[in-house]
Structure 1
Amino acid sequence: MLGAFFRAVVGHPWRVMVLAVATTLAAATGLPGLGFTAAYDAYFSPDNPEWRNFQAIEDKFDRRNNVFLALAPADGDVFTADTLAAVRELTDAAWTLPYASGVTSLTNFHQSFARGDELVVEPLVPPGQLSEAEREATRDRALANERVAGGLLATDGGVTGVSVVFDLPDARKEAAFREVTTAVRELAARLEADHQGLQVYLTGSVMLNQAMVDSVRWDLTHLYPPFFLLMFLVLAVFFRRATTTLATLGVLAMSVTIAFGLAGWAGIVLNTASLAAAIIILTLAIADSVHVLVGYAGALASGRDKPAAMRESLRINARPVLLTSLTTALGFLAMNFSDSPPFRDLGNIVATGVVAAWGLSITFLPAAMMVLPAPRSGAGRVSGQWLDRLAGFVIARRRLLIVAGLVVIVGLASAIPLNRFGDNYVEFFDESIEFRHDTEFINRELTGMQLIEYPLTAGSDGAAQDPAFLRRVESLAEWFRQQPEVRRVVSVTDLVERLNQAMNEGDAAAHRIPDSRALIAQYLLVYEMSLPQGTGINDLISLDKSAVRLAVVLNPIPDQQMRALDTRARDWMRANLPAEMVTPGSSISIMFAAIARHNFTSMLTGTALAFAFIALVMAWAFGSVRLGLVSLVPNLAPLAMGFGVWGLTVGQTGLATSVVASLTLGIVVDDSVHLLSKYRLARVEKGLSPADAVRDAFANVGVALCLTSLVLMLGFVLMTLSAFTMTVHMGALTAIIIGLALLADFLFLPPLLLAGDRTDDAGT
């Protein structure tokens, strides 16, 4: 049956090519349906617990998208006439930004004090031109205010910030992000031009989303062009004929088009992670074509004409190419167990592209080669003397290689526990991306960008103004202030204590929570009514006064240390607070720190199922359970060794690297499938001894294995040039594992085959 199919492909090349192109064009009609999002929340599924906690805080405390602009004067003094004028100018201009709904800065921050029985709320920075003495007095007041120092103002008075809140329309949020970002950057540039020596730094959730866009733009201009050029050069050097190279590139382009076209029909929305599917498909699709073309060139060299040579190549490669495509697709489909939607999309798109590449490599490619001139003599053929020497070494040293291989595998695998889980979202981006540089500056010089937020519930409406409840909140805030990881704590209790002190003639003893719930409610009401438009306290206490938000701003610390702090905090809450107040912390930092561990746990199930399916496929394909299981040993070993090497070198396992085990499982099986197929062919069809079968397998498939592994490694190594750290880590770890897999296939798998083949009595 397969023979008839191959004869039809070879005998009617034009029909096959037209059908392949028509199929590709049909799939391509789905491309307009592809979406793209730069939103960081795309990494979290709706049922993610950290995401649900974060959304609960956003909904309860009227939190929206924001931009934080930090102003750093060259003289290191915010309280000069020019810098204060710049702050006022920025505060006023920020209100004109698209979708701006709130602005907070030094010049519109209000302080409170008592005048007789009246609570007075007035600007911290007086309006108009200030004398030097007035500016110094303003500096002292600002640095003494716990709600200002370390937040809107650096503790040394050298940097200040302006926070702008935006209410973006859900219907066109991506366009709104671009509109806001453009306007903010233009405003910052204008401010720097008008005030000599002033530097403006930008961060916040809006700028985080823009950083996602910036990293994609960087990759499209700096990563993809060299990748395409390198792939073309590798193929051109190997095949030595432009037409053969172009036919292979045609398979690659059509595979990507089909995969992304079908993704468009499925309504998939791409982001910075799933967009990497294009490079992965292009890299993987080369392997099938190389094996078919190498077999074709070898058959031509033996004296067959073009049709006979192609039919022979398809005959000997059809099964291994199908198996490699199937196992690779299974590995990527296992990514559907990921907790992160973009990685599920990545797995499905790549699996589709792999299947498309398989179909095109046994239809379009053979048909194209019937129309194009035959490869030049020696194209795709490399001297096999070194492979024969390698085979001889492996055969002669097979017992030593098994022992040495086990030692290396166990040794490297023992380093796996050195990996720590977690992602710092600021470090998702290369230092060339403005967001990382600016955020690290603000984190270092002004206010910490790592934080944990706790929504503390009092129960009924108004109950958050109860003195007993607020004292419990303050006790938790005080516990946090004593922790070494904490930079500052923001709580409504600070405001209540300051208001109570102001209404008691500034008496330091009155800096406490009042005993009257009605008095607290009155303080907060008067204070809110005195604030200018666009400012309020709904970020500290909910609108219905049933809950408060405690924000814990952290020093720069590793993610696992942040999670440990949250765990200690909940332990303290359980021991010292009512059960209804015990709550997990949440923030963007917490979400990304936690999802890597969640994803790794869920991917264990996916990888285990993929392993089971691949084992069954291998056993069925080779008609031997023993051979199928033996083939998996050198394919699981590279995964263990790769994560061990990662633990020794990088040591951080994040969201991207947590899917690498599943991603590489199907890929690394490919080489062993081809080696085992040629070994079995030599044993069954040629009647060779096990040792001679190893030599024959090395001679027939060794060059192709080296080329495909080299291309795969280069493709994933090039991903390390990305401006997006997730792509960098995924590419680097995958390349390491593929390299280790090639060594295992040449140095570990053949000795296992020889040791397990009982008919090998000579060993030569």
Structure 2
Amino acid sequence: MSKFLSFEFWNTVARIILRNRILILLIIVGITIFLGSQWKNMKFSYTEANLLPDDDEINIQYQQFLDKFGEEGNLIVMAVNDPSLFTPKKFAAWNELAKKLDAYDEVEFTVSIGDLKKLEKFEEEGRFRMVPFIDETQPDSLEVEGYREELFERLPFYEGLIYSKKSNTVQTAIYLDKEIVNTELRRDFVVNDLIPIVEDFEADNDLNVYVSGMPYIRTLNSQNIIDEIGLFIGAALLVTSLIFFLFFRSFRATVISMITVVIGVMWAFGVLGLLHYEITVLTAIIPPLIIVIGIPNCIFLINKYQQEIQKHGNQAKSLQRVITKVGNATLMTNLTTASGFATFIFTQSTLLKEFGIVASINIIAIFVLSLLIIPIIYSYMEIPKDKHLKHLNKRWIGGFVDWIERMVRHHRISVFIISLVLLIISIIGLYTIRISGSLLEDMPKNAGFFKDVEFFEEEFDGVMPLEVLVDTKREKGVMKLSTLKKMDELQTLLAEEDELSKPVSVVNLVKYSKQAYYNGNPKYYQLPTSQEQNFILPYAKDLGGEDNNILKTYVDSTGQYARMTTFMKDIGTEQMERIEENLWPKINKIFPEDRYDVQMTGKALIFQKGTNYLVNNLVISLSLAILLIALIMAWMFKSWKMILVSLVPNLLPLLVTGGLMGFLGVPIKPSTILVFSIAFGISVDDTIHFLAKYRQELKANNWKVKRSVYAALRETAVSMFYTSIVLFFGFSVFMISSFGGTVALGGLVSATLLFAMLSNLLLLPSMLLSLQKEIANQEVLKEPAIDIIPEEDDILQEKKRKKK
């Protein structure tokens, strides 16, 4: 391996690249065309991310629920909170709106005031029959008022389904075809049909319609992700190109770099398509991420090329040295960065695994592209003129480097004290971090659909379905009066929780059956007594007849399983855990485990459990990243003592970031959980560059530690500053997102990398100076496994030393 990464190896690589320029460019074009052809396979995610492993017990329970009752997230709701709705014209228009939507193939059925059925008893048939609530197609004012009064006063069954008594809000439920709920057809219907129809209705009737429901929220959320991919890529290209131009003052250097990263972005999309991965809120950030990580590669390569040109003016020699000298260093730094992302591959979460695979592949790909494209393009261009090299002589950054050196030379104790204080404060902040499993927390708060969510939470106590599955362990056990009473008790228990809505189940239908049996008197909306069950339950069991048996919505075909649906507010993991902790002892008391099996499930609950799973795996993932990079460092420098020196300056920024999250109230969630592994994988690059240069300076300065530390510091501070600035502003691009999690990710990674730069420039050299007896000797810093800075530079350093 050491031979593979030796100076001779990179000389061979340089010769191959420069002697086969046309062939290499044709190969790059061919791969780009091939990956471009895979774009057609890219799909956007149309469902919530399932963060749990497929074989997790909670996932298995959810799948069992779906097998019995089908997709539970297929409900879209529209609501109007306006008294003028109950005027003949608007009332008719509202009912007509539901009929228009019901005619679409994507809609299974709608439930509106116009669709409402009343239960009526037909004694001669021995059954109940659903009859229309509204008889007249064009009711007058008096009749509309009568409907309003009957709905709110005599039909408690429809409370929470069709109306809310809090402020007399009326809603229409739109049940989508379960087969298209998680497909692109759902998006087409919502974007191209539903939204325009609702907007036309609002304009024609001067009514404000609130729209929500998980299919609607997911569609607009996915649309925001699609819109933001282009925004991120454009912003990342703009910001990085501006910074690049400010550093190099060269249009052609900027254009060459942009060409390189644009091809890298095309490859990133191609890899997503080739692997048939869906574009989610995480994989959507990979293309701009490739731009941000690719630009520092371009900076190293072009800067070295221009330095060589300035030295001797020989273009062929300069290009050969660019590949030879910078290839090794950029390979190792890109490997450590890719390692930080690759740790996600070892989680059991499909979402994170896909993110880790695509990100790590493309980080290596952008390195290869940079190493090939930049030298080849420059080989066909004229030698840079003096105006292109002026930036190499700029002294504006000298003040920053002087300050760093002064701090390390004269204020090391202060550096250690400040580091220790930051460590203590950060640990305190870590204990205040909360965990969030909210499906809605990351969604854009200023979006219209989010404001509608808040409205439905206020009026109907939530839009996210929480399902309770009751297994009676025997066929037809659900319709036993004893089971119905237990379910009624459970419904009362759930309704007492402020964060949950009024539940709906077969219990509501049986209560409605009794009310209908007593001629619609609302005071009889209750379960039948043991004396009444014999003549009421037979009606309920055949509710609606064979063709319209609404019992199948809440009871499976065997009569063994019952479904109870409630809706959750946008609550976090901690609140849900508190609710479960309060409910389960009571549920187990109501339903003895030897006779019943009760499960809670639903997408919202799955997401929360998945967040907990990710948090539990965060320590494993980050520990794996640290171990992997530590092994790389130990192998590179052949010294286990160097692990401590290299890890401390990079772990401290992570702890500070964790502390900031605690103090600023930024929760741990699927988006922010990426911060630590990403930042660690990138920040350790600076450590590799500094320690490699430090070892070289030690050999050149006859193992004199102080002189070597300061020389390495002055040599590497500028490149660290340049790359850190690019990374800081590059990741800051994500802060323009409308998604709270993406904003937090961008801000936290930017802050972590900036602090990591200072840590590597202040704490790392301070540690080397303070531990010089233990570390700065030939036994510890013997010949490394690979030459990060090639042998030729070692020879030059030795010549400098002899001249002195």
Q: Does the 8 Å contact 1:114/1:503 carry over to 2?
A: yes
Q: Distance in 1 between matches of 2:522 and 2:723?
A: 78
Instruction: Select which of 738, 742, 745 maps to 1:723.
Output: 738
The offset of 1:26, in angstroms, is 1.9
The offset of 1:337, in angstroms, is 3.1
RMSD: 3.0
The offset of 1:696, in angstroms, is 1.9
The offset of 1:296, in angstroms, is 3.3
Gaps of 5+ in 2: 1-5, 777-804
Match of 2:705 in 1: 690
Q: Distance in 2 between matches of 1:274 and 1:290?
A: 26
Instruction: Select which of 86, 98, 105 maps to 1:98.
Output: 105
**Is 1:439 matched with 2:453?**
yes
Instruction: Select which of 382, 388, 398 maps to 1:385.
Output: 398
Match of 1:448 in 2: 462
Match of 1:704 in 2: 719
Q: How does 1:174-573 map to 2 (within 5 A)?
A: 174-195=184-205, 197-303=206-312, 305-372=314-381, 373-374=383-384, 376-380=388-392, 382-383=394-395, 384-386=397-399, 387-446=401-460, 448-504=462-518, 506=521, 508=523, 511-515=526-530, 519=535, 521-529=537-545, 536-573=550-587
- Name the aligned partner's letter for residue 365 of structure 1: I
Deviations 1:227-257 (A, max 9, x none): 2111111111111112222222233223333
User: Mean alpha-carbon deviation: is it higher for 225-234 or for 157-166?
Assistant: 157-166
The offset of 1:468, in angstroms, is 1.0
Q: Distance in 2 between matches of 1:663 and 1:80?
A: 59
**Is 1:739 matched with 2:754?**
yes
**Is 1:82 matched with 2:89?**
yes
The offset of 1:398, in angstroms, is 1.2
**Is 1:626 matched with 2:649?**
no
**Secondary structure, aligned partner of 1:456:** strand
Q: How does 1:666-677 map to 2 (within 5 A)?
A: 666-677=681-692
Q: Distance in 1 between matches of 2:9 and 2:69?
A: 69
Gaps of 5+ in 1: none
Q: How does 1:45-56 map to 2 (within 5 A)?
A: 46-56=54-64
The offset of 1:631, in angstroms, is 0.5
Q: Does the 8 Å contact 1:124/1:142 carry over to 2?
A: no
- Name the aligned partner's letter for residue 173 of structure 2: S
The offset of 1:8, in angstroms, is 5.9
Match of 1:640 in 2: 655
Q: Distance in 1 between matches of 2:637 and 2:119?
A: 81
Q: Does the 8 Å contact 2:264/2:290 carry over to 1?
A: yes
Q: Distance in 1 between matches of 2:526 and 2:736?
A: 55
Q: Distance in 2 between matches of 1:670 and 1:287?
A: 11
Deviations 1:275-314 (A, max 9, x none): 2110111111122222233333344444463444445555
**Is 1:25 matched with 2:33?**
no
**Normalising by the residue count of structure 1, what TM-score does the alignment of the two structures yield?**
0.91
Q: Distance in 2 between matches of 1:726 and 1:274?
A: 13
**Is 1:160 matched with 2:193?**
no
- Name the aligned partner's letter for residue 144 of structure 2: R
The offset of 1:113, in angstroms, is 4.8
User: Mean alpha-carbon deviation: is it higher for 439-448 or for 517-526?
Assistant: 517-526
Match of 2:783 in 1: none
Q: Does the 8 Å contact 1:338/1:603 carry over to 2?
A: no
- Name the aligned partner's letter for residue 385 of structure 1: G
**Secondary structure, aligned partner of 1:363:** helix
Q: Does the 8 Å contact 1:642/1:740 carry over to 2?
A: no
Q: Distance in 1 between matches of 2:269 and 2:471?
A: 46
**Secondary structure, aligned partner of 1:244:** helix
- Name the aligned partner's letter for residue 570 of structure 1: W
Deviations 1:309-368 (A, max 9, x none): 445555543443222111111111111134442332222112112112222333332333
Cα–Cα, structure 1 residues 63 and 624, in superposed 2: closer, same or farther, change >3 Å?
A: closer
Q: Distance in 1 between matches of 2:623 and 2:13?
A: 40
Q: Does the 8 Å contact 1:634/1:749 carry over to 2?
A: yes
Cα–Cα, structure 1 residues 405 and 315, in superposed 2: closer, same or farther, change >3 Å?
A: farther
Q: Distance in 1 between matches of 2:180 and 2:587?
A: 36
- Name the aligned partner's letter for residue 398 of structure 2: Q
Cα–Cα, structure 1 residues 740 and 681, in superposed 2: closer, same or farther, change >3 Å?
A: same
- Name the aligned partner's letter for residue 667 of structure 2: Q
**Secondary structure, aligned partner of 2:183:** helix
Q: Distance in 2 between matches of 1:412 and 1:347?
A: 28
Cα–Cα, structure 1 residues 425 and 17, in superposed 2: closer, same or farther, change >3 Å?
A: farther
- Name the aligned partner's letter for residue 575 of structure 2: Q
User: Mean alpha-carbon deviation: is it higher for 533-542 or for 565-574?
Assistant: 533-542
The offset of 1:502, in angstroms, is 3.2
Q: How does 1:107-122 map to 2 (within 5 A)?
A: 107-114=114-121, 119=128, 121-122=130-131
Q: Distance in 2 between matches of 1:99 and 1:362?
A: 51
Q: Distance in 1 between matches of 2:692 and 2:534?
A: 83
Q: Distance in 2 between matches of 1:25 and 1:437?
A: 48
Cα–Cα, structure 1 residues 220 and 404, in superposed 2: closer, same or farther, change >3 Å?
A: closer
- Name the aligned partner's letter for residue 299 of structure 2: V
Cα–Cα, structure 1 residues 697 and 429, in superposed 2: closer, same or farther, change >3 Å?
A: same
Cα–Cα, structure 1 residues 551 and 209, in superposed 2: closer, same or farther, change >3 Å?
A: same
Cα–Cα, structure 1 residues 149 and 14, in superposed 2: closer, same or farther, change >3 Å?
A: farther
- Name the aligned partner's letter for residue 226 of structure 1: A
Q: Does the 8 Å contact 1:248/1:289 carry over to 2?
A: yes
Match of 1:654 in 2: 669
Cα–Cα, structure 1 residues 27 and 520, in superposed 2: closer, same or farther, change >3 Å?
A: farther
Cα–Cα, structure 1 residues 3 and 104, in superposed 2: closer, same or farther, change >3 Å?
A: same
**Secondary structure, aligned partner of 1:147:** helix
Cα–Cα, structure 1 residues 713 and 518, in superposed 2: closer, same or farther, change >3 Å?
A: farther
- Name the aligned partner's letter for residue 93 of structure 1: K
Q: Distance in 2 between matches of 1:52 and 1:159?
A: 38
The offset of 1:27, in angstroms, is 5.1
Q: Does the 8 Å contact 1:607/1:661 carry over to 2?
A: yes
The offset of 1:192, in angstroms, is 2.1
Q: Following superposition, which runs of at least 4 residues in structure 1 exceed 6 angstroms of deviation?
A: 115-118
Cα–Cα, structure 1 residues 67 and 202, in superposed 2: closer, same or farther, change >3 Å?
A: farther
Q: Does the 8 Å contact 2:157/2:512 carry over to 1?
A: no
Q: Distance in 2 between matches of 1:63 and 1:731?
A: 35
Q: Does the 8 Å contact 1:283/1:712 carry over to 2?
A: yes
- Name the aligned partner's letter for residue 110 of structure 2: V
Deviations 1:29-81 (A, max 9, x none): 134333212312454453354444333333322446535242326x4444222
**Secondary structure, aligned partner of 1:425:** coil
Match of 1:59 in 2: 67
Cα–Cα, structure 1 residues 14 and 423, in superposed 2: closer, same or farther, change >3 Å?
A: farther
Cα–Cα, structure 1 residues 11 and 563, in superposed 2: closer, same or farther, change >3 Å?
A: closer
The count of corresponding residues between Structure 1 and Structure 2 is 757
Deviations 1:100-127 (A, max 9, x none): 2221112222233557786454334443
Q: Distance in 2 between matches of 1:202 and 1:8?
A: 60
- Name the aligned partner's letter for residue 542 of structure 1: D
Match of 1:610 in 2: 625
Match of 2:144 in 1: 135
Q: Distance in 1 between matches of 2:689 and 2:49?
A: 39
Q: Distance in 2 between matches of 1:169 and 1:498?
A: 31
**Secondary structure, aligned partner of 2:449:** helix
Instruction: Select which of 687, 707, 714 maps to 2:729.
Output: 714
Q: Distance in 2 between matches of 1:557 and 1:743?
A: 38
- Name the aligned partner's letter for residue 627 of structure 1: M
